Amino acid sequence: MQLIGSLTSPFVRKVRIVAAEKFIEYELVIDTPWSEDTRVPEFNPLGKVPVWIMEDGKTLFDSRVIVEYLEHVSPVGHLLPKDARPRIAVKRWEALADGVCDAAALVFVERKRAADKQDPEWVKRQMAKIAAGLNMMSDDLGNQNWCTGEFFCLADVAVGCALGYLEFRFPEIDWRRQHSNLSELFDRMMQRPAFKETVPVA
């Protein structure tokens, strides 16, 4: 099996961490969708990473579908509850974290445009989504050890990838000072080899 992705994408990192936590072997094929010679559109018409290529050559995207598949592929290290109510709660955390990453990725792309072409209102709108998303993450985490309570799960992986992406691309957002509980959660997650081995690399 292969994972096509970049070393900076928080969505690719989420898949890499889930695969590592569940001891799933695969080949990582580095491909940055923005590069001239990218092959991503051959596997995903949306031109986005991550893309997972299964043994039979079928492709999977997006990251939420891929992690759902990985949870099914291996019984090791359950990261998604089976029962509907707790499972939906984890997927909501993932949607919140992925949404923060979506807004951050949009700002990153906007900032790559020529200065006179950048729309400050658009950037402001996305930054507001990031701030509001962080507020909800912090409120919902409260003083628990992990996002959904006593056990580490996919919710924590998604939140960790979002926080790591902000740390990597948006050092000006001081989420650690604004939300000390998120800072402690992130440092707890960074003790795990799967997180240490997937820190974004420019």
Assess 47 for contact with ligand GSF (CB under 6 A): yes
Angle, helices 154-169 vs 120-141, to 10°: value is 140
Residue 124 Cβ vs ligand GSF, minimum distance, rounded to whole Å? 20
Residue 143 Cβ vs ligand GSF, minimum distance, rounded to whole Å? 29
Q: Which of 3, 18, 49, 153 binds ligand GSF (CB under 6 A)?
A: 49
Assess 31 for contact with ligand GSF (CB under 6 A): no
Whether omega for the bond prior to residue 62 falls within 30 degrees of 0, making it cis, is: yes
Residue 164 Cβ vs ligand GSF, minimum distance, rounded to whole Å? 12
User: Are 96 and 160 a contacting pair, CB within 8 Å?
Assistant: no
Count of residues touching ligand GSF (by CB under 6 A): 13
Q: Which of 10, 81, 133, 164 binds ligand GSF (CB under 6 A)?
A: 10
Q: Which of 17, 63, 89, 97 binds ligand GSF (CB under 6 A)?
A: 63
- CA proximity to 95, closest of 191, 3, 14: 14
User: Of how many residues is the chain composed?
Assistant: 202
Q: Which of 33, 133, 160, 164 binds ligand GSF (CB under 6 A)?
A: 33
In angstroms, rounded to a whole number, what is the distance separating the alpha carbons of residues 132 and 34? Answer: 28
Angle, helices 154-169 vs 180-189, to 10°: value is 100
Residues of this chain that bind ligand GSF (CB under 6 A): 9-11, 33, 47-50, 62-64, 98, 105
